[in-house]
Amino acid sequence: MTDPIKLHPPTIFLQALLDCITDDITPLSAPAMNEKGTKLFGAAVLLKSDLSLVLAGTNHESASPLNHGETWTVSQFFNLPVEIRPNPKDCLFLSTHEPCSLCINAIVWSGFDNFVYVWDYAETDKLFGISGDLEVWRDCFYHGPEHDYGHNLTDVGTMNGEIAKDGSAHKVELYKRINPKFVARSIQEILDAVPSAEREQWETKLQKVKTDYGRLSPTFCQRTGVTQ
């Protein structure tokens, strides 16, 4: 497994990811949002060595509920001719949103040993109005006390606006972010690794890219006040 945060200096890594969202994922997601039932989720595969793009993809749930941004991208990756398809172990997997349980499995079974995401589950729920990933974790996988579920790094009470019955704030891990199969990192963690003197300017760059991509979603615009 590879910890993506250790492969490149954080500013070089961030620039490559932001460029990929703007230049490679957005041109695919924008037209796809005109398809009925498609959601704003994109993904891309980059080479670990030089952060160049292998391919990008976007959600196509209009055609099948299994066509999430990540599963679609994985499918396209394996449609590449074998002569030019890199080993997944040599690749980074970028996802605009924290992958759901289906997509984590797709990433693992395909041989990728890492992923980086932009918005986490709680933000996907709050800003985009999409809570299906959290619901599947809660309803199908979670075994603990009834009030003790939620985002892996977020207080349980924030999930779907529910408040823990006893008012307490619990934190549970929905999946292991570092495990023998993969390392999962948020783009925020990469930003946090930027030297403090430069962090503010990179925070501004990150926010601009997030806003520009997010505005493709009418719900995001409605909930954040961003113009479409």
Residue 8 is a binding residue for Zn ion (CB under 5 A): no
3-state secondary structure the chain: CCCHHHCCCHHHHHHHHHHHHHHHHHHHHHHHCCCCCCCCCEEEEEECCCCCEEEEEECCCCCCCCCCHHHHHHHHHHHCCCCCCCCHHHEEEEEEECCCHHHHHHHHHHCCCEEEEEECHHHHHHHHCCCHHHHHHHHHHCCCCCCCCCCCCCCHHHHHHCCCCCCCCCCCCCCCCECCCCEEEEHHHHHHCCCHHHHHHHHHHHHHHHHHHHCCCHHHHHHHCCCC
Among the listed ranges 99-107, 168-176, 183-191, 220-228, the one in contact with Zn ion (CB under 5 A) is 99-107
Q: Which is nearer to Zn ion, 25 or 100 (CB)?
A: 100
Q: Which is nearer to Zn ion, 33 or 102 (CB)?
A: 102
Q: Which is nearer to Zn ion, 100 or 183 (CB)?
A: 100
CB of 207 to Zn ion, least distance (A): 24
CB of 132 to Zn ion, least distance (A): 8
CB of 8 to Zn ion, least distance (A): 26
Among the listed ranges 3-11, 72-80, 98-106, 114-122, the one in contact with Zn ion (CB under 5 A) is 98-106
Q: Which is nearer to Zn ion, 28 or 194 (CB)?
A: 28
CB of 116 to Zn ion, least distance (A): 15
CB of 103 to Zn ion, least distance (A): 3
CB of 228 to Zn ion, least distance (A): 24
In the region spanning residues 10 to 69, those forming contacts with Zn ion, defined by CB under 5 A, are 68
Among the listed ranges 29-37, 45-53, 96-104, 191-199, the one in contact with Zn ion (CB under 5 A) is 96-104
User: Phi then psi for 40, rounded to 5 degrees?
Assistant: -85, 85
The count of residues interacting with Zn ion (CB under 5 A) is: 4
Distance CA 8, CA 76 (A): 26
Distance CA 192, CA 202 (A): 10
Binds Zn ion by CB under 5 A, chosen from 32, 43, 91, 100: 100
Binding residues for Zn ion (CB under 5 A): 68, 100, 102-103
